[in-house]
């Protein structure tokens, strides 16, 4: 059976939250939806809850389940769903979040009206570990229809677009035609995909409508700051994923917004180093100064950076951090991180 939309949901140890997620998607006002769940081999009853809805709900026949051979993480779960999704569009969400009842109808109708490659909704972030404090991440009402127009907007400043891979409806062909995949990591796997996504889409719609409720839990993988211990290997995995983005930099070097893209990538590397420096007492084993400096090595030539017409000085600053002796480089990064309130 063909569907207009696939909602893809990776599932791993979320039995306390999965029912509210399922209810929010099954109650969507839009009809032609495939509800695709990826069993990432958790150890609780999350998948039993999914199967209960599959067997008892009026839309249960549209619930499809794929199984990973072992726990492989969010990135690989999303990659697996991309291979089997039956919708023309796909909408990813996490298995402890919820969406508004008209989310898919709203995004789909805008996609059809503008023949959009991608339509973004806005988000309500709920900090469960901070008395349910709410933060609204809201887009302006904007439509981009020209080549490079959205990329210019997305790279204009660091936080112009959220890093999340959730809460946008995107043509499945955008993934398939450009051979786009998620990195096999659990932390910042969103960013390692969404950083370069603007380079592959042209017709884009941003909506101010709050379509997604992002529940940020205590000690979740997306929140290093609320944890008592961090394994070095976990951070190294994320760093290697960012290194792969560096390796792909030459593929986008002809974009007019390439300097902004490079600055955003290197700022992210700096934020990771700042996180390490801030949490160094609870990270084991420890990072060496050589490792931290090595992570700041700039991936393209000095001559290319000097040719930038925009953001030249900022990019040169990051280039120099990767050239300095390790001790001096880390000293400078500590000073900068303290100045920006990151430490």
pTM (global) more than 0.85 = yes
Q: Tell me: domain 3-114+157-198, CATH 3.40.30.10, correct?
A: no
**pLDDT on residue 222:** 47
Cα 133 to Cα 97, 224, 285, 341: the distances in Å are 15, 18, 34, 21
Burial tier of 42 (Cβ tally within 10 Å: 0-12, 13-18, 19+):
middle
- Please tell me whether residue 43 adopts helix, strand or coil conformation: coil
| 222-241 b/e (C-beta count within 10 Å ≥ 16 → b) | bebeeeeebeeebbebbbeb
CA dihedral 67, 71, 74, 79 (to 10 degrees): -50
Cβ-based neighbours of 36, under 8 Å, separated by 6 or more: 6, 7, 8, 9, 64, 65, 66, 81, 84, 85
CA 83, chain centre distance (Å): 19
Per-residue pLDDT for the chain (343 aa), expressed as one digit of tens each? 699 999 999 999 999 999 999 999 999 999 999 999 999 999 999 999 999 999 999 999 999 999 999 999 899 999 999 999 999 999 999 999 999 999 999 999 999 999 999 999 999 988 877 778 888 999 999 999 999 999 999 998 888 898 889 999 999 999 999 989 898 876 667 888 899 999 999 999 999 999 999 988 754 444 555 568 889 998 898 898 899 899 989 989 999 999 999 999 999 999 999 999 999 999 999 999 999 999 999 999 999 999 999 999 999 999 999 999 999 999 999 999 999 999 8
Q: Per-domain residue ranges for the chain?
A: 3-114+157-198, 229-339
Q: What are phi and psi of 247, to 5 degrees?
A: -65, -25
């Amino acid at each position: 059976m063909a569907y207009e939309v696939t909602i893809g949901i990776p599932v791993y140890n979320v039995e306390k939250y999965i029912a509210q997620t399922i209810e929010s998607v099954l109650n969507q006002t839009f009809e032609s939806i495939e509800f695709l769940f990826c069993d990432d081999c958790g150890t609780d009853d999350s998948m039993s809850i999914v199967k209960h809805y599959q067997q008892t709900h009026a839309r249960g026949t549209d619930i499809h389940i794929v199984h990973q051979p072992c726990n492989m993480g969010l990135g690989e779960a999303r990659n697996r769903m991309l291979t089997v999704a039956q919708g023309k569009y796909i909408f990813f969400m996490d298995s402890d979040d919820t969406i508004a009842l008209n989310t898919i109808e709203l995004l789909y109708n805008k996609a059809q009206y503008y023949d959009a490659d991608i339509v973004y909704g806005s988000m309500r972030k709920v900090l469960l570990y901070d008395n349910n404090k709410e933060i609204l991440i809201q887009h302006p009402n904007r439509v981009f229809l020209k080549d490079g127009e959205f990329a210019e907007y997305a790279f204009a400043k660091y936080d112009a677009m959220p890093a999340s891979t959730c809460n946008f409806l995107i043509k499945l062909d955008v993934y398939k035609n450009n051979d786009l995949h998620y990195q096999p990591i659990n932390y910042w796997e969103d960013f390692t995909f969404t950083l370069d996504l603007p380079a592959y889409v042209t017709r884009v719609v941003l909506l101010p409508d709050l379509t997604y409720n992002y529940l940020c839990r205590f000690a979740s993988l997306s929140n290093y700051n609320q944890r008592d211990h961090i394994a070095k290997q976990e951070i190294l995995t994320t760093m290697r994923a960012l290194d792969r983005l560096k390796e792909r930099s030459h593929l986008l070097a002809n974009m007019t917004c390439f300097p902004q893209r490079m600055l955003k990538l290197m700022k992210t590397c700096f934020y990771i180093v700042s996180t390490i420096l801030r949490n160094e007492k609870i990270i084991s084993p420890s990072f060496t100064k050589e490792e931290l400096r090595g992570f700041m090595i700039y991936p393209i030539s000095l001559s290319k950076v000097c040719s930038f017409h925009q953001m030249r000085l900022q990019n040169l600053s990051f280039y120099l951090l990767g050239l300095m002796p390790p001790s001096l480089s880390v000293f400078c990064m500590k000073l900068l991180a303290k100045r920006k309130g990151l430490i």
